[in-house]
Amino acid sequence: MWKRFLISVILLSLISIMASCAKSTTEPEVTLSQPSTGAISPILQNMGLVEVDVEDSPLSTPAPDHVFVVLNNMQIRGTAGNWVTVPTSIAPFDLISIGENPTMYTSQSVVAGSYDEISFNITSISVQIGSQSYNATVPESTNRLVGSFEVANDKTTVVDLDFEADQSLSVSGNNQYVFKPDVEFRTPKPGGVLGITTTGLANSLVGINVWESLSVSGGTSPYTFSVTSGSLPSGITLNPKNGSFEGSPTQAGTYNFVIQVSDSSSPMQTDTASYTIRIGPVNSIINETSYLPNGIVNEAYYTQLNVLGGNGVYTWKTLSGSLPPGLILSVSAGTISGTPSQSGTYSITIQVQDGSSPPLEDIQTFTLVIQ
């Protein structure tokens, strides 16, 4: 993977003293003036702070010189249905040049409580190669991602928007770029306890260079990562210092393993997470997407299935099971979208084929939870 774009949303909440509004049952929404990228907004009295950091992973394969992104209309939703605005800068940031060091993007005071969703718009994407610039089409400019998290008094809560940029940006003839955001919403474990927040890892093919990093919330850095059971795909190693998977798989198969992270606090905290990834053989295709994000009843849902290998022309279909009522699978685009109308846990087996003759295919079973 040549790119991973990470936004860390740091939610720091303090006890709210509202003596002058003792009879009010509605928390006021706090609006900050829009800061410039890199500027630190002051923490308002008796309130917490939402800090949005932008971070990028090192390149592993060639990429455009620059990919400039503009976001706006960022909000987080409380479980009571109230939306809190997180102001964004009108200045673009560059996915390519951000680097591994977190860069503060914006900040916002928030009230302690439960939150279950984040929403933002992608206003524009500009791709620069040499002296040439190209505007990318953004089919889905509005992104709403579900994930429950708590903002506790006097605690720092970290929420990550992890963009898989190499899967988000595609190009066809005549430099026609399309940006379909592949985003994972990683929510922290409650109470500030150390926890691995990465839900799943991408599938891959033999010979394809891999770079994917685990995200952690809570605890005290630096962290140490290790494999405690099972085995990684041959050719892939785990960096014990930053939790990244690196290398090129050399053998096809299905791999199950458990990762442990330990921190530097005293007493030391640990957490574990189990993963399953599939590695397809050379000259095949594989559904890189290994899991589906959860959804909420009567809330818009959208996710993109991504494929590695083949000739780049794919069709999808359901072999068994069914999506939740209100959701549909696009046969030509590989998207699952709509508004689910019924909660539950749904199992669906999806086939993808490319345009070869005979076609290459991959089959994977997913579980989708609607809350």
Looking at the fold, whether 23 and 138 belong to one and the same domain comes out as yes
- Angstrom CA distances, 361 to 16, 69, 310, 317, 351, stand at 55, 34, 9, 11, 7
Domain boundary among 135, 161, 191: 191
Looking at the fold, whether 178 and 123 belong to one and the same domain comes out as yes
**Residue 325 CB coordination number (10 Å):** 14
For residue 302, give its domain range. 286-370
Q: How many CA atoms lie within 13 A of 35 on its CB side?
A: 19
pLDDT in tens, 212-252: 889 888 888 889 999 999 999 999 999 999 899 999 999 99
Looking at the fold, whether 364 and 242 belong to one and the same domain comes out as no
Q: What CATH number is attached to the domain comprising 220?
A: 2.60.40.10
Phi and psi (nearest 5°) for 151? -105, 105
Looking at the fold, whether 270 and 313 belong to one and the same domain comes out as no
Looking at the fold, whether 176 and 30 belong to one and the same domain comes out as yes
Domain boundary among 248, 282, 316: 282
Q: Are 79 and 149 in contact (CB under 8 A)?
A: no
Q: Are 346 and 325 in contact (CB under 8 A)?
A: no
pLDDT of residue 235: 96
Domain boundary among 166, 191, 216: 191
Q: Are 51 and 10 in contact (CB under 8 A)?
A: yes
Looking at the fold, whether 185 and 269 belong to one and the same domain comes out as no
DSSP 316-360: EEEEEE-PPTTEEE-TTT-EEEE---S-EEEEEEEEEEESSSSPP
> Taking Cα atoms as reference points, which of 130, 163, 178 lies closest to residue 3?
163
**Residue 357 CB coordination number (10 Å):** 6
**Helices H / strands E in the chain, number of each:** 1, 30
**Mean predicted lDDT score pLDDT of the chain:** 79
Q: Are 38 and 187 in contact (CB under 8 A)?
A: no
Structure token digits, residue 132: 């040439």
More confident residue, 314 or 20: 314
**What percentage of the chain has pLDDT greater than the value 70?**
76
Looking at the fold, whether 267 and 310 belong to one and the same domain comes out as no
Looking at the fold, whether 156 and 58 belong to one and the same domain comes out as yes
> Taking Cα atoms as reference points, which of 184, 348, 369 lies closest to residue 294?
369
Compute, in degrees rounded to 10, the torsion defined by CA atoms 167, 169, 170, 173: -170
pLDDT of residue 222: 85
**CA-to-CA distance for 53 and 10, rounded, in angstroms?**
8
**Total number of domains in the chain:** 3
Looking at the fold, whether 199 and 185 belong to one and the same domain comes out as no
Looking at the fold, whether 278 and 305 belong to one and the same domain comes out as no
* pTM for the whole structure: 0.56
Looking at the fold, whether 50 and 150 belong to one and the same domain comes out as yes
pLDDT of residue 247: 95
Looking at the fold, whether 76 and 6 belong to one and the same domain comes out as yes
Q: Is the pLDDT of residue 366 over 70?
A: yes
pLDDT in tens, 108-165: 778 877 888 888 898 889 988 888 899 988 887 788 888 877 776 555 566 777 777 7
pLDDT in tens, 59-80: 455 568 888 888 888 998 888 8
Q: Is the pLDDT of residue 266 over 90?
A: no
**CA-to-CA distance for 213 and 4, rounded, in angstroms?**
9
pLDDT in tens, 171-199: 877 788 888 887 777 776 554 678 888 88
Q: Are 191 and 271 in contact (CB under 8 A)?
A: no
